Amino acid sequence: MRIDRPEQLDRAVIAALARSEQRIVLSDDLLATVAANRRAMLGDLAGDEPVYGVNTGMGAMAGVRLDADGQARQQNTLMIGRAVGSAPWLRRAEARALLVSRLRTLLHPAAGASPGLCLHLLALLDADVVPAIPLRGGAAGEIIPLAHAGAVLIGAGQVLDPAGLAIDAAPTLAAAGLSPRPFEAKEGVAFLEGVPGLTGLAVLAAAEVRTLLNQVVIAAAASHAVIRAGPDPLHPALADSPELSEVLASLRALLGPDHRREGRALQAPVSFRVTAPAVAVAMRAAAAVEDAADRALGAVTDSPAHLDGRFVGTFGFAGTDLVATAGALTTALIHLAELGAARLHRLLDGALTGLPRQLSDSPGLHAGMVTVHKRAVGVIHRLRRFAAPALIGTMETSLGQEDVQSFGFEAAECLGEAVGGLRDVLACELLAVHQANLIGAPVPAVIDEIAAVVPAGTADRPFGRDLDRIISLLEGGWAGGISAGSSG
């Protein structure tokens, strides 16, 4: 794909590049525009005006002026001294998403980056040389994880081997036919500023959440069928938004026109009745993350940014928008996980299902799904630790120069934990639905693929292995052979 304008590097292209599903080239016209922006920036940099991080120190050292030798060395030392993170590392797709998001923001005129830096970054992506970037970002924007990425460009730092382990970057660059490229004037500052890491992670997470919400709707419909809950909570007139209308329509379609109008109880348990609006809330939260990512991709994120012929200090490193929206999505997903565990617990109740207690094929001899539910409960308890908003927790660094932090990587980590935890709970629910089907409960045919990945039979066995197979199926994008309304 040829990129003629920065806007073409949108969320869809970033996700495809992150997963190594696409390659791009930067057009000559785009590179010429980048070069013109670079020349204008260098012209304004030629005077004696102090420019933060270029001819001065950074943070509390901003008042220290650098001589010519210091300026020549500083853009590279910015990377070396700030690469203080360590394992666990971002996964390959996540690290690549950071690099692509960084490339997009370096194409912005305010960055003043050179065509050479942009092409070098693209060469790393093409060669699949993936920096080892710490999952936990620390404070002061993203300078720590970005320093790890930048160190690789100059031949230092570490990269991920095929097993995901960190190894020295220099031999890998050489094997890929790449040479280290030092950062030129102001390029190191531009590389360290902004929130390309959180942006890239948010792009991947939002796409993952869209798939996961489809799967939640399928599991909820199947559980609805097991307890033979009445269709009243699915009435189309209850929709208060387009998102809820889609979810309710999907649930009705999954259950089919022959779904019993009379339930075993006058009303289904609350966890069943409120699942649809909770999915709608998560859909809106995912859309908010996507909108925030779009804003971040097109925003001025450099500080100082080259604007109207002068260098302007900005707030682009804070990522407040993305941190706040990621936190809201995290909360919505954890709530969905709690509802899933509650529905699962109801499936074990013979008074609701008409099936043997705990979905055991031989009560007393076999425990059935009760311990599967206990696993889900443990996941929920752990997830609650990640529900605290990362935006809260002001701490000073750099001798007070940086007196507020937004902790973007921590927000991304919490969101990732919520995604993984919800998927785990969902696998538990789907296994219980499958077990219920085998011992007599009619469920929608969309879960037939679950039977294809787990062993036959209903007797007790190491169900953790079954859950691993179901989780793998969910991670692969399983949608029961349909496209549910919550795909967004």
Query: Hey, which residues does 89 pair with through a beta bridge?
Result: 134
Residues 114 and 211 in one domain: no
> Which pLDDT score, from 0 to 100, does residue 108 have?
95
> Which pLDDT score, from 0 to 100, does residue 262 have?
57
Residues 335 and 482 in one domain: yes
Which CATH number characterizes residue 131's domain? 1.10.275.10
Total Cβ atoms within 10 A of residue 68: 8
Residues 102 and 247 in one domain: no
Do 218 and 446 touch, CB atoms closer than 8 A? yes
Residues 127 and 159 in one domain: yes
Residues 6 and 94 in one domain: yes
> Which pLDDT score, from 0 to 100, does residue 210 have?
97
pTM (predicted TM-score): 0.93
Q: Tokens for 207?
A: 């796409």
Total Cβ atoms within 10 A of residue 156: 17
Residues 387 and 433 in one domain: yes
Q: How many domains does the chain fold into?
A: 2
Q: Which positions of the chain have pLDDT values less than 50?
A: 483-488
Last residue of a domain, one of 142, 171, 192: 192
> Which pLDDT score, from 0 to 100, does residue 481 have?
59
Residues 58 and 141 in one domain: yes
* C-alpha closest to that of 101 among 202, 206, 236, 1: 202
Q: How far apart are CA 30 and CA 5, in angstroms?
A: 6
Place of tokens 């565990």: 341
Buried b (16+ CB within 10 A) or exposed e, 335-373: bbbbbbbbbbbbbbeeebbebbebbbbeeeebebbeebb
Residues 152 and 300 in one domain: no
Last residue of a domain, one of 137, 162, 192: 192
Residues 168 and 221 in one domain: no
Residues 247 and 277 in one domain: yes
Which CATH number characterizes residue 406's domain? 1.20.200.10
Last residue of a domain, one of 173, 192, 211: 192
Do 40 and 18 touch, CB atoms closer than 8 A? no
Residues 84 and 36 in one domain: yes
Residues in Cβ contact with 163 at an 8 Å cutoff, skipping those fewer than 6 apart: none
Residues 137 and 220 in one domain: no
Q: How far apart are CA 278 and CA 174, in angstroms?
A: 51
Domain that holds residue 180: 2-192
